Amino acid sequence: MKPFRFGVNMRTVVSATEWAARARALEDQGYSTLCLPDHLAPMPAPLPALAIAAAATRRLRVGTMVLNNDFRHPAVLAQEAATLDVLSDGRLELGLGAGHMKSEYDEAGLPFDRGGVRVERLAEAVVILKRLFDGEPVTFHGRH
């Protein structure tokens, strides 16, 4: 049986210094993971903020809770996630979702398709990401 882990989901950043100190404090308190949500709101972009947290700590895992699939092309996300995973010595936990807030789609100028379509796009993106993470050239022909 794996040991039970505790994580924290944070959403505010004042400065790099303060953010790094908060990440170190979480690690010192025994938390295993620091996660950031992904919203088009006054909050940090998850991947750069997690890179700072990973650089400031030694064991703390960093993760997304969760990235909106429709806001990122899978090839670009694969490169960014793989880079963050390498720079954090394998401590990235990548969470992806199909998106759920119509207001964010409106703000981004993206169509807010019905849930089933968003889930289909997410499923295709997961296939692409897994193939890219395997390190092989990828050709993909999907519906979306």
* Residue 28, pLDDT score: 98
Torsion 77-79-82-84 (CA) sign = negative
Strands (E), 2-139: 7-9, 33-36, 61-64, 67-68, 92-93, 96-97
Print burial letters for 26-46: b (CB count within 10 Å at least 16), e (below 16). bbeeebbbbbbbbeeeeebeb
The region, left, alpha or beta by phi > 0 then psi within -120 to 50, assigned to residue 54 is alpha
CATH topology for 7-133 is TIM Barrel (3.20.20)
Q: pLDDT at residue 2 above 90?
A: no
Q: How do beta strands 67-68 and 96-97 pair? A: parallel
Quick: pLDDT tens for 92-144.
999 999 999 999 999 999 999 999 999 999 999 999 999 999 988 999 999 99
pLDDT tens for 17-39 read: 999 999 999 999 999 999 999 99
| Confidence at residue 8, expressed as pLDDT on a 0 to 100 scale | 97
Q: What is the pTM of this model?
A: 0.93
What does the pLDDT read at residue 47? 97
Q: Which residues contact 11 (CB under 8 A, 6 or more apart)?
A: 36, 37, 43, 44
